[in-house]
Amino acid sequence: SQTIHQWPATLVQPVGSPLSLECTVEGTSNPNLYWYRQAAGRGLQLLFYSVGIGQISSEVPQNLSASRPQDRQFILSSKKLLLSDSGFYLCAWSLGDTDTQYFGPGTRLTVL
Amino acid sequence: QKEVEQNSGPLSVPEGAIASLNCTYSDRGSQSFFWYRQYSGKSPELIMSIYSNGDKEDGRFTAQLNKASQYVSLLIRDSQPSDSATYLCAVGSRSSYKLIFGSGTRLLVRP
């Protein structure tokens, strides 16, 4: 069966510091991968998605970037965090022939 | 702009009642519809998916789809306090790898 991991689970970072969040999927090959952000009390905002290694689509222009160095690894990064980057970051995966998405446990980021 | 609309709630029902959660969508090309449950502080988990008009039942949950009215609903029978959560509606189309999520309806089941 497939499992999805995210780390760290929680993170507190100062404004202007860099960020690296990691997501890894096990038990499947060539998944579609997604990064979402959920601000407190709000809905899901799609940030990036990838349908293959080296293929990254950005949904919202901002100070975040994503990379997919391996088939089942998706990384979300920032060079300088803003206060508005605080939120719950969720990674999700789906298979190419279906659009059902499954979410990881999430990373709660607080920028101070 | 493709949109998915949900009433934010909270929807409050007594234990044992039927909870009815509703969702409308704007893209007539939508072909896949999902309900996710999200407990406070946790990630969304998939409850139901539905692709064809009509009803789909899974235990205490029934998803209903009406493509002509661009409307999808989730019924929860015999509601339990453990059903208290935010329910997210998501809509997809075959032409896209993406799902469009509603902002969620908060359900509160009173003991």
Q: For residue B74, give both structure tokens.
A: 């989730």
Q: What is the pLDDT of residue A61?
A: 64
Q: What is the pLDDT of residue B5?
A: 95
What integer is the mean pLDDT of B71-92? Answer: 97
Local structure of residue B69 (DSSP, 8 states): T
- Is the previous residue joined to B111 through a cis bond, with omega within 30 degrees of 0? no
Q: How far is B26 from chain A (nearest CA, A)?
A: 17
Q: Tell me phi and psi for residue B83, to 5 degrees.
A: -80, -10
For the sheet containing A73-78, what is the strand order? A3-7, A19-26, A73-78, A64-70
Distances (CA, A) of A71 to A30, B34, B68, B97: 6, 26, 39, 17
Tens of pLDDT along B25-39?
A: 999 989 999 999 999
Burial class (CB in 10 A: 0-12, 13-18, 19+), A51: middle
Q: What is the pLDDT of residue A98?
A: 75
Mean pLDDT of all residues belonging to chain B: 95
Which residues of chain A does B101 touch, with a Cβ-Cβ cutoff of 8 Å?
Answer: 43-44
Shortest CB distance from A102 goes to which of B46, B92, B96? B46
Tens of pLDDT along A65-109?
A: 999 999 999 999 999 999 999 999 999 999 876 789 999 999 999
Number of residues in chain A: 112
Cα–Cα distance for residue pair B24/B53, rounded to 1 Å:
14
Tens of pLDDT along A15-67?
A: 999 999 999 999 988 999 999 999 887 889 999 999 988 899 998 868 999 99
